[in-house]
Amino acid sequence: MNSSQRRYLFSKGIDQYFTDVYKAYRFVIRFFKEVIHPPFHFKEIINQCFELGLKSLPLITLTGFVTGIVFTKQSRPSLAEFGATSWLPSLISIAIVRALGSLVTGLICAGKVGSSIGAELGSMKVTEQIDAMEVSAINPFKYLVSTRVLACTITIPILGLYCGFVALMGSYFSVHKNEATSIVSFFHNGFSTITFLDIFSSLAKSIVFGFTIGMIGCYKGYNATNGTQGVGKAANQAVVLAMFLVFIEEVVIVQMANWIRDY
Amino acid sequence: MEKQEVKKDQEPIISIKGLYKSFGDKDVLKDINLEISKGENMVVLGRSGSGKSVLIKILVGLLSFDKGTVKVFGKEVDKLSGKDLDALRLRIGFSFQNSALYDSMNVRQNLEFPLTMNKKDVNKGEVKKAVEEVLEAVGLKEKINEMPGDLSGGQRKRIGIARTLILKPEIMLYDEPTSGLDPITSEEINKLINDVQKKYNTTSIIITHDLTCAKETGSRVAMLLDGKFEKIGKFDEVFDPKSSHKDNKEIKSFFDYNFIQ
Ligand SMILES: Nc1ncnc2c1ncn2[C@@H]1O[C@H](COP(=O)(O)OP(=O)(O)OP(=O)(O)O)[C@@H](O)[C@H]1O
Ligand SMILES: [Mg+2]
């Protein structure tokens, strides 16, 4: 057997998988190590909050509003069968606050923010801009990764709350047109069933989504290889993986919230 | 072998001994030995893929290596980390093969970035002055507000060099400064390299395929063949038509390719 041939613990694919997982784990650990030590690059964090957060606002507004309207319209016939359309506001509010607001924001940001970070860092990596930072004694991880992950973790929860609000407005728009409910009674009805735990778990979810999306985008971009083709691949993988993890986290956190609720 | 003009009492600025580097099972550098003393312009020639870029990336700690010792300013590069490595890197200017300008910043911001990130105590006036000075040095003052994407290849190279000069390095590493440029622009870059050496009193390594560049800028040249330095010496010695061409086909074809045209 050729001595230069590599030996694998299991097989090439499985070994590769575990190395990748370990690499990702190291990346996350490095983030926590770097983020607590100065310098902090506050200016760049704020800059990224605007870049990543503010620029997603139009899309979130549109999607949130449409989600609210459509969800209300689709729920109405079922409730009308029992003559219970007056329950619409509370039903919708529960759905939006508990799930839709943060989930819709998470998915949209996984697409928009995840791909933009993946592509940006990926192209910086393959054109040696990251190396250029390193040789001029600037820590690229701190400057590029820490700032973006923090910006995502801060802005995506805010976008999530905003999305929930816009969705409720969309829903009110539909309810007002059909049932002529006033805004006061709509929100009074809606929020009577919402608990603090609902809002808290939804916020916690958004924070986790934001962290995940930032981290995945940065990880994929920072480790891009193979020229321009690698940039596309990094952006693509960032979106797919971030969306996948957002769903997984949604399920896990909902389950945890339910345990606490029952407790 | 190689002629050492280094005075014995003067420690070389860069010293590489028995350096080996491989990627997977591909050996790229095999037993590299090189000493560069202060003020020298060392030209490294070699075919595409022979490991020239890898060599200078090892010098600044961007890549690790398998065996050997690499000393810069008397310090072993692979033993440094954190603040010490940063301190070393600040004394070295690295001009990348593809310039590696920050696409999201304009020329001014590209030049300011290394300075403001590293020196917290500089004021706005000093930064402005430093930017103007290096732009003047590379002769591109009028491009200060343009984006890198709007510059030509040669201009990008020069801005890349300016960006490294702003930290006043003692060593300059040029990765193919003239590749892909027309002869006139190449000539300008050669002149720039020589000017920089005079003005900033740097020690340089210049990687190139271009023999004109080697001849004009190099105080010594080294041929990288099969992961080793085949010849090190003055340009005229390495490319002496009477001797080296005969015993080495690669050097001959290198020479012919550059000068027949
Ligand atoms: N990060 C890396 N991973 C794997 N292989 C690499 C890496 N960097 C370089 N190599 C390999 O090392 C060899 C030398 O590469 P290097 O970039 O140093 O060549 P070069 O002499 O600079 O060539 P050119 O003149 O084309 O720039 C190449 O065969 C390349 O495939
Ligand atoms: Mg190269």
Domains of chain B (ranges; CATH) run: 1-91+170-261 (3.40.50.300), 104-168 (no CATH)
CB contact under 8 A, A131 and B57: yes
* Phi/psi at B112 (5° precision): -70, -35
Nearest atom within ligand 1 for CA of residue B57: 18
Question: How far does residue B57's CA lie from ligand 2's centre (Å)?
Answer: 10
* Cis peptide upstream of residue A39 (ω within 30 degrees of 0): yes
For residue B11, what is the DSSP state?
A: P
How many Cα atoms occupy the beta-carbon half-sphere of A130 within 13 Å?
20
Q: Taking CB atoms and an 8 Å cutoff, what residues of chain A touch B23? A: none
B227 lines ligand 1 (CB under 6 A): no
* Residue A6 scores a pLDDT above 70: no
Determine whether the shortest distance from the Cβ of B257 to ligand 1 is under 6 A. no
The mean pLDDT value for A42-59 works out to 93
Q: Is B201 on the interface with A (CB under 8 A)?
A: no
**Phi, psi angles (nearest 5°) of residue B172:** -115, 130
- Contact in structure between B207 and B56 (CB atoms under 8 Å): yes
| pLDDT averaged over every residue in chain A | 92
Ligand 2 center–CA A241 separation, angstroms: 34
Check residue A7 and give its pLDDT.
74
Q: What is the pLDDT of residue B2?
A: 44
Residues A7-35: pLDDT tens digits? 778 888 898 899 999 999 999 999 999 99
What are A134-154's pLDDT values in tens digits? 999 999 999 999 999 999 999
Ligand 1 neighbour B225 (Cβ under 6 A)? no
pLDDT surpasses 50 at A2: no
Please work out whether the CB of residue B97 comes within 6 Å of at least one atom of ligand 1: yes
Contact with chain A for residue B57, Cβ under 8 A: yes
Ligand 1 lined by B46 (C-beta under 6 Å): yes
What per-residue confidence (pLDDT) applies to B235? 79
Task: Report the atom number in ligand 1 closest to the C-alpha of B54.
Answer: 18
Which position has the higher pLDDT, B251 or A5? Answer: B251
Distance between CA A118 and CA A247 in Å, rounded? 20
Output the CA A131–ligand 2 centroid distance in Å: 14
Q: What is the ipTM of this complex?
A: 0.88
The ligand with the least distance to the CA atom of B209 is 1
B118/A131 Cβ within 8 A: no
Give A63 to chain B, closest Cα distance, Å. 29
Q: Which residue has the tokens 């190291």?
A: A26
Pairing relationship of beta strands B92-95 and B171-175 according to DSSP bridges:
parallel
Amino acid residing at A218: C
Please name the residue of chain B whose CA is at the shortest distance from the CA of residue A143.
B117
Mutating which of A128, A144, A228 best tests the B interface, going by the most B Cβ atoms within 10 A?
Answer: A128
The whole-number pLDDT of residue A102 equals: 94
B180: Cβ contacts below 8 Å, ≥ 6 apart: B153
* Residues whose Cβ atom is located within 5 A of ion ligand 2: B 53, 97
Tell me what pLDDT residue B261 has: 42
Residue identified by tokens 């193919």 is B176
Q: Is B28 in the pocket of ligand 1 (CB under 6 A)?
A: yes
Type of residue found at B237: E
Residue in A with minimal Cα distance to B172: A135
Cα(B118) to ligand 2 centroid in Å equals 27
Q: At A4, is the pLDDT very low, low, confident or very high (cuts 50, 70, 90)?
A: very low
Burial zone of A96 (CB within 10 Å; 0-12 exposed, 13-18 middle, 19+ buried): buried
Tell me, what's the pLDDT at B214?
A: 87
CA distance B101 to chain A (A): 6
Residue where the block lists tokens 């800028």: B217
- pLDDT of amino acid A26: 96
d(CA A109, CA A52): 9
Q: Is B23 touching ligand 1 by the criterion CB < 6 Å?
A: yes
Concatenated DSSP letters for A160-209? HHHHHHHHHHHHHHHHHHHH---HHHHHHHHHHS--HHHHHHHHHHHHHH
pLDDT value of position B1: 41
Answer yes or no: is the C-beta of B51 below 6 A from any ligand 1 atom.
yes
Contact B89 A129 (CB under 8 A): no
Mean pLDDT of A49-63: 93
How far is it, in rounded angstroms, from Cα B61 to Cα B83?
13
| Interface check B101 vs A, CB under 8 A | yes
pLDDT digit string (tens) for chain B, length 261 residues:
444 454 445 788 999 999 999 998 889 999 999 999 998 999 998 888 889 999 999 999 999 999 999 999 989 999 988 889 999 999 999 999 999 999 999 999 999 999 999 888 888 999 999 999 999 888 889 999 999 999 998 899 999 999 999 999 999 999 998 887 888 888 888 998 998 888 888 999 999 988 888 888 888 989 888 888 887 878 777 777 666 555 566 666 666 666 544
- What is the residue extent of each domain of chain A? 38-262
Pairing of strands B228-233, B220-225: antiparallel
User: Ligand 2 centre and the CA of B94: distance in Å?
Assistant: 13
Q: Taking CA B53 as the corner, what is the angle to CA B51 and CA B55, rounded to the nearest 5 degrees?
A: 70
Distance A199 CA to ligand 1 centre (A): 53
Q: What's residue B228's pLDDT?
A: 86
Residue in B87, B100, B114 closest to A128 by CB: B100
